[in-house]
């Protein structure tokens, strides 16, 4: 059931979304909107916090580029309770990371409205900028990308997106759906009580209704599932290039510690220790403990990792961190039948105890 209002005046899905966000802000349903917007120059799109309705023009959540996982921004934005209502327009992986952060008590969501949308996937920033540099019509690039997404994901799309099966934002408060909807139509659906309350009267229907939508989603899921790896057999080789720059940790939306225990001073590396270790082991690779570093990150993030792949984009050494994290986290999460960000009501695996879980490691 596509929204047909003002159809003749709109040309693209982007503009339909823009229109919805404009009304949201203009009608005072929220006080500010966090949304990706194309910057002057046109070659990059990244999150902007907008409080003046006229500034909504030029926002472009569908542009296939993700500079940061915006959950990191949300975490910073509502780290303490605020009395203004904020709508955050997020990709599904960002929605899921935000929900994990809520469960980890790292943000106050009382005044936060999470708006999710169908995500066509992204290119790594460099690829995107390279691809769009010489294009006149920047928006046409997005439309072409959406076309590719619906028919098969281009080779240059970020690896994590190529195997992502969570490209719809089912756990958001409000969901903007366009897959299976005749362009430039979109369906705005409230998914939670808060969503209904805050966007009352702006919903345009049940996004699950069109059968063509379900079919299209099913096809994309099937195609992407096939690309998922079930194991990593050369982890040591893969992380060899690591220079311990900590970029993967810095960009991870879920890394929430105030001070990382993997910092050299916390790890107790002293000059004397390096030398005594080298003496004992004949030689040590410098920087040390890259394996320990990555295993600890996997161990800490594995329960809640949403496989956004932002760590892989941030890695200067092109380590396939997105794939590595995905393989490990999927195994950890399936042990607990847990899907991060699926619902606010699912309890974090480490904070619950069920007698029947993990029986395979008991020796009875």
Distance from C-alpha of 106 to C-alpha of 351, rounded to nearest angstrom: 15
Residues 266-325 that bind another protein (CB under 8 A): 266-268, 273, 277, 300
Instruction: Considering the complex, state which of residue 51 and residue 352 has its C-beta at the smaller distance from another protein.
Output: 352
Residue 281 C-beta: closest distance to another protein, Å: 9
Site string for another protein, 211-250 (x = CB under 8 A): ----------------------------------------
With CB under 8 A as the contact rule, which of the stretches 63-71, 143-151, 256-264, 317-325 interacts with another protein? 256-264
Site string for another protein, 110-149 (x = CB under 8 A): ----------------------------------------
Torsions phi, psi of 140, nearest 5?
Answer: -60, -35
Burial of 52 (0-12, 13-18, 19+ CB in 10 A): exposed
Residue 361 C-beta: closest distance to another protein, Å: 16
The residue count for binding another protein (CB under 8 A) is: 20
Site string for another protein, 87-116 (x = CB under 8 A): -----------------xxx----------
Figure out which of the listed residues 8, 134, 258, 363 binds another protein, where binding follows CB under 8 A: 258
Instruction: Considering the complex, state which of residue 49 and residue 104 has its C-beta at the smaller distance from another protein.
Output: 104
Residue 291 C-beta: closest distance to another protein, Å: 13
Instruction: Considering the complex, state which of residue 203 and residue 256 has its C-beta at the smaller distance from another protein.
Output: 256
Figure out which of the listed residues 222, 243, 257, 317 binds another protein, where binding follows CB under 8 A: 257
Residue 257 C-beta: closest distance to another protein, Å: 4
3-state SS of the chain is: CCCCCCHHHCCCHHHHHHHHHHHHHHCCCCCEEEEEEECCCCCCEEEEEECCHHHHCCECCCCCECCCCCHHHHHHHCCCCCCCCEEEEECHHHHHHHHHHHHCCCCCCCCEEEEEECCCCCECHHHHHHHHCCCCCHHHHHHHHHHHHHHCCCCCECHHHHCCCCCCCCCCCEEEECCCCCCCCCEEEECCHHHHHHHCCCCCCCCCCCHHHHHHHHHHHHHHHHHCCCCCCCHHHHHCCCCCCCHHHHHCCCCCCCCCCCCHHHHCCCHHHHHHHHHHHCCCCCCCCHHHHHHHHHHHHCCCCCCCCHHHHHCCCCCCHHHHHHHHHHHHHHHCCCCCCCCCCCCCHHHCCCCCCCHHHCCC
Beta bridge partners of 176: 117, 188
Residue 65 C-beta: closest distance to another protein, Å: 30
With CB under 8 A as the contact rule, which of the stretches 185-193, 251-259, 308-316, 337-345 interacts with another protein? 251-259
Instruction: Considering the complex, state which of residue 104 and residue 238 has its C-beta at the smaller distance from another protein.
Output: 104
With CB under 8 A as the contact rule, which of the stretches 42-50, 152-160, 165-173, 257-265 interacts with another protein? 257-265
Contact 32, 84 (CB under 8 A): yes
Figure out which of the listed residues 221, 256, 330, 339 binds another protein, where binding follows CB under 8 A: 256
Site string for another protein, 337-356 (x = CB under 8 A): -----------x-xxx----
Using the structure block, give the residue that is written with the tokens 């619906």: 150
Distance from C-alpha of 166 to C-alpha of 95, rounded to nearest angstrom: 11
Instruction: Considering the complex, state which of residue 276 and residue 334 has its C-beta at the smaller distance from another protein.
Output: 276
Residue 297 C-beta: closest distance to another protein, Å: 10
Instruction: Considering the complex, state which of residue 30 and residue 97 has its C-beta at the smaller distance from another protein.
Output: 97
Instruction: Considering the complex, state which of residue 28 and residue 268 has its C-beta at the smaller distance from another protein.
Output: 268
Distance from C-alpha of 179 to C-alpha of 78, rounded to nearest angstrom: 31
Residues binding another protein (CB under 8 A): 104-106, 256-261, 266-268, 273, 277, 300, 348, 350-352, 364
């Amino acid at each position: 059931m596509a929204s047909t209002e003002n159809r003749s005046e709109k040309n693209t899905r982007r503009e339909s979304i823009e229109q919805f966000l404009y009304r949201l802000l203009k009608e005072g349903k929220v006080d500010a909107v966090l949304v990706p917007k194309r910057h002057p120059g046109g070659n990059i799109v990244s999150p902007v916090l907008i409080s003046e309705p006229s500034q909504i023009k030029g926002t472009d959540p569908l542009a296939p580029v993700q500079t940061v996982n915006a959950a990191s921004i949300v975490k910073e934005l509502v780290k303490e309770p605020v009395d203004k209502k904020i709508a955050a327009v997020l990709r599904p992986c960002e929605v899921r990371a935000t929900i994990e952060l809520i469960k980890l008590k790292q943000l106050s969501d009382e005044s936060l409205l999470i708006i999710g949308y169908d995500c066509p996937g992204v290119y790594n920033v460099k690829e995107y900028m390279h691809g769009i540099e010489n294009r006149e019509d920047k928006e046409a690039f997005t439309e072409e990308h959406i076309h590719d997404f619906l028919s098969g994901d281009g080779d240059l799309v970020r690896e994590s997106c190529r195997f992502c099966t969570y490209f719809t934002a089912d756990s958001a408060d409000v969901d903007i759906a366009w897959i299976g909807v005749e362009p430039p139509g979109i369906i705005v659906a409230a998914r939670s009580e808060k969503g209904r309350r805050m966007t009352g009267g702006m919903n345009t229907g049940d996004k699950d209704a069109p059968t063509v939508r379900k079919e299209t989603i099913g096809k994309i899921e099937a195609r992407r599932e096939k690309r998922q790896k079930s194991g990593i057999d050369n982890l040591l080789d893969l992380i060899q290039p690591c220079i311990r720059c900590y970029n993967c940790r810095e960009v991870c939306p879920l890394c929430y510690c105030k001070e990382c225990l993997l910092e050299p001073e916390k790890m107790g590396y002293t000059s004397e220790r390096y030398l005594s270790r080298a003496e004992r082991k004949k030689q040590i690779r410098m920087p040390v403990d890259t394996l320990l570093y990555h295993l600890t990150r996997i161990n800490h993030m594995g329960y809640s990792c949403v496989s956004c792949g932002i760590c892989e984009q941030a890695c200067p050494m092109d380590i396939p961190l997105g794939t590595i994290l995905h393989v490990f986290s999927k195994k950890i999460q399936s042990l607990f039948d847990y899907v991060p960000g699926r619902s606010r009501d699912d309890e974090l695996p480490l904070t619950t105890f069920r007698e029947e879980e993990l029986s395979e490691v008991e020796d009875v």
